[in-house]
Amino acid sequence: MAGKRGRQQRIVELLAHNRIESQEQIQGLLLAEDLACSQTTLSRDLQELGVVKGADGYRTPSGGFGENTLARLARELAPRLRAVEAGGNIAVLRPRESDASSLARAIDTAGLPQVIAGVACDGVVLVVTRTPADARRLASALGGRHLRRRR
């Protein structure tokens, strides 16, 4: 679990299972798992994940997705899609043009911790998420079933 994606997933897991009061505490927990990162990188990760600090310490938004990252991804991808559906823990994206591989790459590099992988095949992108709720949330953010097929 190396790299940005793995680090961000681990941050989400740490926040879900620990009361964390400072970025230094997060850095220490990551370092204990050989996931060292600079304070600047950690701050950027927290911002992308939509993590907020409240009276009870750092926490992820109730939806779990990095809301800032998801909103940015939706703005980028939604205009390029003609249909989006969720079934189980998979979101199916149907691009307007034949650029499924670039859509899958955008999903994979976004660093959303709830996304396991985006796979392009035959003009369709399958996005595997950790839970069915994650797939529904992603599909909804990308326009869901409300997108109409282009004729």
Architecture of the CATH domain 67-146? 2-Layer Sandwich (3.30)
Confidence of residue 149 (pLDDT cuts 50, 70, 90): very low
What lies within 8 Å, CB to CB, of 128 at 6+ separation is: 89, 90, 115, 116, 117, 118, 119
Domain boundaries, the chain: 3-59, 67-146
pLDDT at residue 145, as a whole number: 53
pLDDT at residue 146, as a whole number: 40
Tell which CATH classification among 1.10.10.10, 3.10.20.90, 3.30.1390.20, 3.30.70.20 matches the domain 3-59: 1.10.10.10
112, with CB counted inside 10 A (0-12, 13-18, 19+), is: buried
Place of tokens 């299972």: 17
From CA 141, how far away is CA 137, in angstroms rounded? 6
Instruction: Identify the residue with better confidence: 60 or 67.
Output: 60
Is the sign of the CA dihedral 18, 59, 138, 9 positive or negative? negative
Confidence of residue 31 (pLDDT cuts 50, 70, 90): very high
pLDDT at residue 66, as a whole number: 55
